[in-house]
Amino acid sequence: MDDATWVRRDEGKVTDYHGAVTEATKEKLVERKLAESEEKYRELAENAGDGITIIKDGIVRYANPWLEELGGFTTEEIIGHPFTDFVWPDDRALLNDYYVRRMRGEPTPRVYEARLMKKDGTPVVVELNANIIDYEGSRAGFIIVRDVTDRKAAQEALQLSEQKYRTIFENTGTAMVMIEEDMTVSLVNSEFVRLTGFSEEEVEGKMRTSELVVDRDRKMIGEYHRLRRGGSKLAPHSYELRVKTKHGEAKDVILTIDLVPGSKQSIASLLDITERKKIEKILQHQMEEQTLLLDNVETMVWYAVDTERYGRVNQARADFLGRRKDEIEGKKLCDFLPPEEARVGVEGNRKVFETKSSYHGLEWVTNGKGEKRLMSVTKVPKLDLKGDVEFVVCSGHDVTELKHAQDALDLANKKLHLLGGVTRHDIANQLTVISGSLQMVVSSELPGKERKYLDMALNAGRNVERYLEFSRDYERMGTAKPEWISVRDACVKGISTLEPGDVKVEVDLEGIEIYADRMLERVFHNLVGNAIRHGEKVTRVRIFCQKSGDSLLVICEDDGKGIPTEMKGGLFEGRRGRGLYLVREILGITGMTIEERGEAGKGARFEIHVPKGDFRFLGEVE
């Protein structure tokens, strides 16, 4: 030991020491402190929550227990082996390169991710924090290993969530925006760009929502923004406003907005309803026009939404029932009509709903004054795209007065027909007596003068008979509805009662029908009869037809003396010839006309003009 001085004080006790320890003592102190330090760091490393390893010359020299848990290897299986044995094959070259360059002092990443290989052959993602230390007198790698599997999974889940969110954000079909607490727009999707014309760069982080709406809506959205962040329920979740585009247009949108949970951000969708609003305005205008139109016609119009219930009604229907329109719409027929009348109305509705075809009928209906009125009712189904009856459109006319007039007219006609028939019968009986008596007188020997007067009386009697026959035919004309009639059959039947004598009658009308009064046969009877009686030297009468543009001509011509020009003007007037007058009237019932186009001295030619649609050839009948 080095020299030392021991200092003693009272009673010989050592109270102090002055001097120096030997070199050996110093070394022992250093060794003890180093051992204590190593023990502390070893204890720290052994209990660390991350893996710690020391690699020297590419060999693992130290591995803490955490690494055993991470890879499933024992310490003995790790220490003394190349570190690359525990690296995933695809990452070995990279990590070995980092290690070599780091040992040479070259720059390499300090913190990076890699894959290690577990004992069972599966990979594990770790974060490596690499440093250089002095170990056993030379450079070694000091590596902290952190398992980031959970973190990676969380990152991947977050990334997937963000991708899903972004995909949804971009593909909702509506414009989407993210709004910050200060009303700045932080995110927009492509639909927003399409809607407004602003690019993402022009909007995101640069524009506030107040700049994207029309002036009248700025105060409103600002107040809603404030209320929403204050938790007030007064801020609506969805409402309409108008958005300004880059080109200065204003578009109507429905804004749906809410706060992102746990933040002051809002996310909003904007549904463009500009076209819908235009259509709504058009529909509203059309509805107003329709209501104005329906309420200003005398015809009663109403809808049947089902067999028993009214839909919309017009003012005429409401006035008839003595109610306001809103008192009728949606109510049942039985709420306004007596049971039997309601049953008839419901039955008519049911026919239309079940058959999907129109209905027309006469119905007695009691009006608001308690009067029974006869209604002519038409009900037409409105079919939907599937062909089902959506509702029935009904219209009605009050025909009570018309019915009374028709009844009175029918009664008058019956009386006239009865009077005419009785009168004709009585006159005919008297003519028979007169004619018989005159015939008896004529058969006796009379002087020439008296004979002349008797012949005149007989001719007058025969004229009276013809007049009676004309009146009977005229009375029958138009009493039945027109119908499709075979022209040939009518012609043949009409001339069958004539006595043509030496006159040849040719009928060439095969396969043709015309829409006419049932007395068409009388037309041919009179035309051919006139030719035979008045044509003089007539040997041939021909009846045939030919097309004339879209019309049809039915022609009756003869080879007689024809009709003088001066007589043609009043040929079809009653004062000249009741037979031809009757012909014109019968044809006129269905819109046909007749003209005489013959040449005097060469024969008569009567042309009957049949309009388009009133004739058909039998081969063309559907």
48 vs 297, residue with greater confidence: 297
Share of the chain above pLDDT 70, in %: 81
Buried b (16+ CB within 10 A) or exposed e, 539-558: eebbbebeeeeeebbbebbb
pLDDT at position 432, please? 73
Exposure string over 334-347, b if 16+ CB within 10 A, otherwise e: eebbeeebbebbbe
CA angle 327, 329, 334 (to 5 degrees): 80
Residue 74 phi, psi dihedral angles, 5° rounding: -85, 165
Please tell me the predicted confidence (pLDDT) of residue 35: 57
Same domain? 495 vs 613: yes
Residues 6 or more apart whose CB falls under 8 angstroms from that of 243 comprise: 195, 196, 212, 213, 214, 250, 251, 253, 270
Final residue of a domain: which of 272, 289, 321?
272
Domain contains 151: no
Task: Name 255's Cβ contacts closer than 8 Å, sequence gap at least 6.
Answer: 238, 239, 240, 241, 268, 269, 270
Which has more confidence, 508 or 481? 508
Q: pLDDT confidence of 413, banded at 50, 70, 90?
A: low
pLDDT computed for residue 100 by the predictor: 93
In a domain? residue 608: yes
pLDDT > 50? residue 342: yes
- For residue 345, what are the CA distances in angstroms to 203, 275, 357, 399, 560? 64, 41, 16, 17, 65
Residues 68 and 112 in one domain: yes
- Structure-model confidence comparison of residues 572 and 476, the more confident one: 572
Q: Which has more confidence, 319 or 168?
A: 319
445 part of a folded domain = yes
- Claim to verify: residue 308 and residue 229 sit in the same structural domain: no
The domain boundary residue, chosen from 413, 444, 473: 473
Residue 352 shares a structural domain with residue 445: no
Q: How confident is the model at residue 489 (pLDDT cuts 50, 70, 90)?
A: very high
User: Does residue 296 belong to any structural domain of this protein?
Assistant: yes
Q: Where residue 412 falls among pLDDT bands split at 50, 70, 90?
A: low
On whether both 86 and 26 belong to a single domain, the answer is no
pTM summary value: 0.41
Same domain, yes or no: 393 and 317: yes
**Residue 1 reports pLDDT greater than 50:** no
Q: How far apart are CA 326 and CA 330, in angstroms?
A: 8
- How confident is the prediction for the chain on average, in pLDDT? 84
Same domain, 183 and 52: no
CATH of residue 284: 3.30.450.20
Look at residue 132 and tell me if it is in a domain: yes
The domain boundary, picked from 428, 453, 473, lies at 473
Query: How far apart are the C-alpha atoms of 243 and 102, rounded to whole Å?
Result: 60
Task: Give the residue among 143, 170, 175, 174 at the shortest CA–CA distance from 62.
Answer: 143
Residue 14 pLDDT class (50, 70, 90 cuts)? very low
Question: What is the model's pLDDT at position 295?
Answer: 83
**Domains: count for the chain:** 6
Write the CB contacts of 598 (distance below 8 Å, at least 6 apart in sequence): 557, 562, 563, 604, 605, 606
* Residues 204-248: tens digit of each pLDDT: 999 999 999 999 999 999 999 999 988 888 899 999 999 999 999
Q: Is 540 helix (H, G, I), strand (E, B) or coil?
A: strand
Q: What percent of the chain has pLDDT over 90?
A: 51
- Tens of pLDDT, residue by residue over 42-57, are 665 666 668 899 999 9
| Domain of residue 597, residue span | 480-620
User: Residues 5, 21: one domain?
Assistant: yes
For residues 141 and 43, which has the higher predicted lDDT (pLDDT)?
A: 141
Q: Indicate if 463 and 485 belong to the same structural domain.
A: no
Contacts for 270 with CB less than 8 Å, ≥ 6 apart: 174, 175, 176, 177, 192, 195, 243, 253, 254, 255
| Residue 255 belongs to some domain of the structure | yes
**Do both 505 and 602 map to the same domain?**
yes
More confident residue, 150 or 73: 73
Asked if pLDDT for residue 262 goes beyond 90, the answer is no
Using the structure block, give the residue that is written with the tokens 């770790």: 126
Across the range 114-138, mean pLDDT stands at 91
506, 560: one domain: yes
Closest CA to 615 of 503, 488, 499: 488
* Cα 2-4-8 angle, rounded to 5 deg: 165
pLDDT in tens, 370-410: 899 999 999 999 999 999 999 999 999 999 888 888 777 66
The confidence score (pLDDT) of residue 280 equals 87
Residue recorded with tokens 């419901």: 346
Residue with tokens 């990076």: 112
Give the residue with greater pLDDT, 5 vs 441.
441
pLDDT band, residue 2 (cuts 50/70/90):
very low
What six digits make up the tokens of 542?
């021909």
- CATH number of the CATH domain containing 567: 3.30.565.10
Give kind and range of the element (H or E) at residue 101. helix 89-103
Which of 449, 481, 477 minimizes the C-alpha distance to 578?
Answer: 477
The DSSP secondary-structure symbol of 422 reads: H
Query: Cα–Cα distance between 580 and 556 in angstroms, integer?
Result: 13
Please report which confidence band the pLDDT of residue 7 belongs to, taking 50, 70 and 90 as the band edges: very low
- 16 pLDDT more than 60: no
Write the burial class of residue 38 (CB in 10 Å: 0-12 exposed, 13-18 middle, 19+ buried).
exposed
179: exposed, middle or buried (C-beta count within 10 Å: 0-12, 13-18, 19+)?
buried
Indicate the pLDDT class of residue 71, thresholds 50, 70 and 90: confident
Distance CA 227, CA 222 (A): 9
Residues 164 and 286 in one domain: no
Give the model confidence (pLDDT) of 549-599 as tens digits: 999 999 999 999 998 888 887 888 765 555 788 888 889 988 999 999 999
Is residue 590 in a domain? yes
Q: How far apart are CA 156 and CA 160, in angstroms?
A: 6
Domain assignment present for 150: no
Q: Are 249 and 236 in contact (CB under 8 A)?
A: no
